[in-house]
Chains A and B, each alone.
Chain A
Amino acid sequence: MSGFRLPEIDRRLVFAIVAAVVVFPIFFRLSLPEVPSTIVMNVFDSVESLPAGAMVLMPMDFDPGSEAELQPMARAFVRHCAEKKLRITFLTLWGTGSQMIERVTKDVLIPEFPDYQYGRDWVNLGYKPGMESVITVILNDLKKTFPTDVSGKNLDDIPLTRDVRNLRNYNLILSVSAGYAGTKEWVQFAGDPGQIPVAAGMTAVQAPLNYPYYPRQLKGLLGGVKAAAEYESLLIKKYPRYEDQQKYRFEALTRMGPQTFAHLAVIGLILLGNATYWINRRAAQGGA
């Protein structure tokens, strides 16, 4: 045993293993059933408990780099809000967030909810630079920073925003964020000072940083694609029309197959790495 040593694994082999375990379930569409956790159910209930016509602010503070994680959440939130007939205001503090809003409205809101009218049921305010300064200003005066919507129409001429004065007119802030500025800033500069309920979906990396706000400062949070899949499963359970998986694409649920296999591979590689280290150390001690 003392002379036996395991070779170090070439990092390219690790890449190949991870790629293989991700690609395999994509081809065979392997996925697993999801059991929603309490923290995800709390986000769902925050939306579900709102009456029809309630105002929801949906900041989409992310970019294409985190789209794989956050676009499924954004779509699930939009579907849920539209099912509940809530009035949605989109905006973003990220320069590339405008395209993310455009994608979710063009792919989900407009085709799946043809009765949802722009200006009456939803509005897109677009992007504004300034991070938390923007939130601080719109907490007291929305139209000071956003005089027009994304297409340049005056907010006073849009039925949904005509009577909106500031963020306190909203019943819920449903943030989708990938970092700074994001959920943390919406809690710090809008939710807490304005006493406005905040629920959020965020990247997995962001989740541990925002957990301390739950449950008092954040009603609930979705961390990463796993939580998005749980939210999608809740949506399917509550609204049976979404059971038609041919018609409605639920990306997070389909991505949980590759995700699970990749996690198993990573766990296996961690165990292998530790075993290699342990065996080689024993061999070195034995040879010394």
Chain B
Amino acid sequence: MPRQRLILFGALGLFVVFLVYRVATGAMVNPLEGGPALGMWVAALLTLCIFSFLAGDNPFYKFAEHLFVGVSAAYWAVKGFWNAIVPNLMGKLLPEFTANTAIPGLRKEDGTLPAPDLIYVLPLIFGLLLLWRLAPKGQWISRWSLAFVVGITAGLRLIGYLSSDFVGQVRNTMLPLLVVGDGGLLWVDSFNNIVIVVGVVTGLAYFYFSREHTGAFGRMTRIGIWTLMVTFGAGFGYTVMGRIALLVGRLEFLFVDWLKLASP
């Protein structure tokens, strides 16, 4: 057995002895209690399996990864069925049947039920057409449903982006360069507005490629690229902060909640 593997197994053995000792002395929760205690142990061991990837690919990491994919697929299938198909399809088409078999709450306290809404036959048909993909012949039929989904999504998002991101952002950039308050010129607000307006204009200028980036226009685009670089830097900084926060959260879980080596 290679020396490195021996050290690894030795360290793992010591860690297991440490855990057994902590559980035996009541310093940690006992996984045999079941319920939340067992859940905490499973979460902690799976976290360690994922962390083991830092040392390189290994069977523990693979196990946790495959478990995650499998559980996620099942979870989403169940969630989709009980949160969309049952209340929003069956509940609309067959309210009485759904209230009697799955969601009693569809029936109001005074006993009334909503009338069947037959327009929901259309999503039912489109849903079935989508499943045609699994049939041995005529898979092209599923494209009708896909076309509907793509068309609706594209239309919705186009409107959202046009109104909030395009028109809204143009409006947000129309700012006074000199902000005057009761006490005279507000220097900080004016500076902020100038930075926003100059940043947007020069940033847009950088992406204008129909004219060579030379002379005064070139100097403007240089400011634009600096604006972009500062933005990327801020984005990178935020990303580091986010990733470190996740690490802190996981290590807190391991050392405070699971191992109970540090106080909350």
Contact = CB atoms under 8 A, between A and B. Distances in A.
Interface of A: 12, 15, 18-19, 22-23, 26-27, 29, 65-69, 95-96, 126-130, 132-133, 136, 145, 147-149, 151-154, 156-157, 185, 187-189, 192-193, 203-205, 207-208, 212-213, 216-217, 223-226, 249, 255, 258-259, 262-263, 266
Given A154-B107, A205-B239, A130 B79 contact: no
Given A130-B84, A133-B153, 6 more contacts: A69-B246, A188-B161, A188-B165, A213-B172, A216-B172, A258-B248
Contacts of A263: 240-241, 244
Interface in B233-264: 234-235, 238-242, 244-252, 255-256, 261-264
Contacts of A95: 75-76, 79-80, 83
Given A126-B83, A147-B91, A153-B105, A26 B262 contact: yes
22 contacts: A22-B248, A23-B251, A23-B255, A66-B242, A69-B246, A69-B249, A126-B83, A132-B156, A148-B105, A148-B106, A152-B105, A152-B106, A154-B106, A188-B164, A188-B165, A189-B160, A204-B239, A205-B242, A208-B235, A212-B172, A216-B172, A259-B241
A44 B55 CA distance: 43
Contacts of B88: 128, 145, 147
Contacts of B231: 208
Contacts of B87: 147-148
B156 A225 contact: no
Nearest to A215: B172
Contact of A204 (B160, B163, B238, B247): B238
Contact of B242 (A149, A157, A204, A213): A204
Contacts of B255: 23, 26-27
Contacts of B250: 68
Nearest to A156: B108
Contacts of B152: 133
Contacts, number: 158
Nearest to B163: A192
Contacts of A157: 105, 108-109
B114 interface: yes
Given A147-B106, A157-B109, A203 B54 contact: no
A271 B106 CA distance: 62
A132 B234 CA distance: 28
Contacts of A65: 246
